[in-house]
Amino acid sequence: MKILVTGGTGYIGSHTCVELLKNGYEVVIVDNLYNSSVEILDKIEKITGIKPVFYQTDILDKEGLEKVFTENKIDAVIHFAGYKAVGESVAKPLTYYENNISGSINLYQLMKKYCVNSLVFSSSATVYGDDFEVPFKEEYGLGTTTNPYGTSKKMNEMIITDMSKADPELSCVLLRYFNPIGAHESGLIGEIPNGIPNNLVPYIAQVVSGQRGFLRIWGNDYDTPDGTGVRDYIHVVDLARAHVKAIDYAKEHKGTEVINIGTGKGYSVMEVLHAYEKACGKKIPYQIMERRPGDIATCYADTEKAEKLLNFKAEYNIDRMCEDSYRFTVMQSK
């Protein structure tokens, strides 16, 4: 079975390609290398023994994208390609909507034209907004998003749901990721942030490697056990495994399903910091700052639906996530 992976050289995409290849799927990657590099293909080959077919193509280039469909008999699509920086999306909403919405529509139109009926889409827990009580359940539906990035995820969910209502042959799985962190155990692939990291673990990794002086903790006066924000961190390899399960599910089921992918357990910023200190064997300097605008106190997933429908349960704990992140950081600096 041949899977088209858009954004397949990116952070989550590269780990997913590894898991797909390990499970006997053929992989065709489309990526414009905006936020990744061609060397990732060699790393995937080093891990799996297989080099995926690769097109350096922008999903906004519909003609270029069509070539991928004419040259390959695609059975299913996993759609990761998109921009993901929350702050940047507020400053450049049209750029975000063009890439994340127009690019996606190009892809969905070509899927229709070439009768590709299975789609797994990268959504985010951000679509819950701060409207609901934790643990976030899929049945809550879509909340009020607070930035164009989040809104682009919500709009994609709505578009895919409408497509699926209009075409009963479609099988779509919308995966709402919680907070993916960590790296492959080989240390060969992981997250390489573009500029100053916005997310917690990439920032900690840069403090540990000496690129940044200290971690800025965005508030310690939340209504949480230690006052710092609580999130559902999930190992990127667990998340990648969930995509293989979603592809398997889409093979057997028509319609659209929204499924949370998290561990169901929340950790505070201080707990993550301590787990990372354990992994790297040194103290990590930090300072408490004001709250970051737009942050919520606590976010974690209800994981029952993922267990029931996909038979998916995350395996790795926070210590392992930090150990793998640290190994990747060390190997990157060599």
- Active site amino acids: 149
Among positions 3, 4, 5, 7, the unique one binding ligand NAD when judged by CB under 6 A: 7
Tell me the residue type at 320: R
Tell me the residue type at 2: K
Q: Which residue is nearest to ligand UD1 (CB)?
A: 229
Quote the least distance from Cβ 298 to ligand NAD, whole Å: 17
Q: Do the beta carbons of residue 199 and residue 283 sit within 8 Å?
A: no
Residues 251 and 171: their CA atoms lie apart, in Å, by: 7
Q: Which residue is nearest to ligand NAD (CB)?
A: 10
104 binds ligand NAD (CB under 6 A): no
Among positions 109, 199, 206, 332, the unique one binding ligand UD1 when judged by CB under 6 A: 199
Quote the least distance from Cβ 81 to ligand UD1, whole Å: 15
Among positions 122, 145, 171, 303, the unique one binding ligand NAD when judged by CB under 6 A: 122
Quote the least distance from Cβ 230 to ligand UD1, whole Å: 7
Residues 104 and 201: their CA atoms lie apart, in Å, by: 28
Tell me the residue type at 296: I
Which of the choices ligand UD1, ligand NAD, none does residue 229 contact, using the CB cut-off of 5 to 8 A by kind?
ligand UD1
B/e letters for 30-63, b = 16+ CB within 10 Å, e = fewer, are bbbeebbeeebbebbeebbeeebbbbebbbeeee
Question: Near ligand UD1 by CB under 6 A, which window of 73-81, 91-99, 114-122, 198-206?
Answer: 198-206
B/e letters for 312-334, b = 16+ CB within 10 Å, e = fewer, are bebebebebbbbbbbbbbeeeee
Which of the choices ligand UD1, ligand NAD, none does residue 117 contact, using the CB cut-off of 5 to 8 A by kind?
none
* Residue 217 backbone zone (phi > 0: left; psi -120 to 50: alpha; other: beta): beta
Residue of 94, 280, 306 whose CA lies nearest to 205: 280
Quote the least distance from Cβ 276 to ligand UD1, whole Å: 12
Which of the choices ligand NAD, ligand UD1, none does residue 7 contact, using the CB cut-off of 5 to 8 A by kind?
ligand NAD
Binding to ligand UD1 (CB under 6 A): which residues in 260-279? 269
Residues 93 and 46: their CA atoms lie apart, in Å, by: 38
Binding to ligand NAD (CB under 6 A): which residues in 69-88? 80-84
Q: Do the beta carbons of residue 261 and residue 114 sit within 8 Å?
A: no
Residue 245 CB neighbour total at 10 angstroms: 21
Among positions 55, 69, 108, 177, the unique one binding ligand NAD when judged by CB under 6 A: 177
Binding to ligand UD1 (CB under 6 A): which residues in 28-87? 86
Q: What angle do CA 101, 102, 106 make, to 5 degrees?
A: 115
Binding to ligand UD1 (CB under 6 A): which residues in 204-233? 215-218, 229, 231
Quote the least distance from Cβ 35 to ligand UD1, whole Å: 13
Question: Near ligand UD1 by CB under 6 A, which window of 31-39, 46-54, 156-164, 293-301?
Answer: 293-301
Q: Do the beta carbons of residue 29 and residue 18 sit within 8 Å?
A: no
User: What is residue 300's three-state secondary structure?
Assistant: coil
CA distances from 276 to 61, 71, 137, 187, 271 (A): 41, 45, 29, 16, 9
Residue of 52, 56, 59 whose CA lies nearest to 19: 52
Binding to ligand NAD (CB under 6 A): which residues in 28-67? 30-36, 58-60
Report the interface residues with ligand UD1, using CB under 6 A.
86, 124, 126, 150, 179, 198-200, 203, 215-218, 229, 231, 269, 292, 294-295, 299
Report the interface residues with ligand NAD, using CB under 6 A.
7, 9-13, 30-36, 58-60, 80-84, 99, 103, 122, 124, 177, 180
